Structure 1
């Protein structure tokens, strides 16, 4: 049976593709909204002042939801990238391609026990970083970041 720590990290790893999809979709929406402004670069947006359409376009990612989605995505992905290549491959096959442990073992030419060991070690390493973004992850799961 998996420990509490492993279940926390496992949930975040399983949710990561959907989080990335939401992040990319929200970013595209912000890009489309910025491009739909229809202003030329040198044209004033506010009728004066120093703010022009180009500045508005560059500041589009200063959206609070975008910042939170970005923090959540990077809070999971950066620690994932710090894992060993074998641990990353095992997690990706197991949770993102949804393969069973024997299938992962066959794909990587590992024994089942080696796959379990890599999963356990990787989830143990991911627990602390995932715990740091847990409030954002819970908000995302509840739909507050979408």
Structure 2
């Protein structure tokens, strides 16, 4: 295996996993919302006898959860570099990996040649490799189920 293909596989795996990571993040955040509401966290009531800290402040503190922080770091570690890619590369990656389209179908959809699609994918994955490498430990934790 060449170095380029190794890099591509690392970045490609993260891009493929991103929709599931985002789904887990949203689900965990929703669970925290439900837990806070079930615990009687209402915005109008004071929790400390009328001093400066109201329930709304406590409600926001629930996002200080370590799993949510790690899921957020993982999600943003993949999505922010993805957003910095040129528009063509973003569209191609989204169609190829998130819409699960074949390269030939992506080429037809965007009116590119297949060779051009492969070239854009290669450039995008090269650009995403280093940022994905920074969140690789979190990605492995997520894949092993520690962040779900």
State TM-score, norm by structure 2. 0.91
Structure 1 residues 141 and 39, CA, compared in 2 at 3 Å: closer, same or farther? closer
2:30 equivalent in structure 1: 28
1:55 deviates by: 2.0
State how many pairs are aligned: 145
Q: Provide the C-alpha distance between the structure 2 equivalents of 1:17 and 1:23, rounded to a whole number of angstroms.
A: 10
Write out per-residue CA displacement over residues 90-112 of structure 1, whole angstroms, 9 at most, x where no aligned residue.
00010001111100000000000
Tell me, yes or no, if structure 1 residue 144 matches structure 2 residue 146: yes
Query: After the TM superposition, which parts of structure 1 deviate over 3 Å for at least 4 consecutive aligned residues?
Result: 47-52
* Residue of structure 1 aligned with 2:66, choices 61, 64, 67: 64
2:95 equivalent in structure 1: 93
* Residue of structure 2 aligned with 1:42, choices 40, 45, 66: 45
State TM-score, norm by structure 1. 0.93
1:39 deviates by: 4.3
Q: Provide the C-alpha distance between the structure 1 equivalents of 2:41 and 2:134, rounded to a whole number of angstroms.
A: 40
1:10 equivalent in structure 2: 12
The answer for unaligned runs of 5 or more in structure 1 is: none
CA contact (8 A) 1:16 1:73 kept: yes
Q: Provide the C-alpha distance between the structure 2 equivalents of 1:133 and 1:48, rounded to a whole number of angstroms.
A: 42
Q: Provide the C-alpha distance between the structure 1 equivalents of 2:75 and 2:118, rounded to a whole number of angstroms.
A: 25
* Residue of structure 2 aligned with 1:117, choices 96, 119, 138: 119
The answer for unaligned runs of 5 or more in structure 2 is: none
Q: Provide the C-alpha distance between the structure 1 equivalents of 2:112 and 2:47, rounded to a whole number of angstroms.
A: 62
1:32 deviates by: 1.0
Q: Provide the C-alpha distance between the structure 1 equivalents of 2:87 and 2:14, rounded to a whole number of angstroms.
A: 19
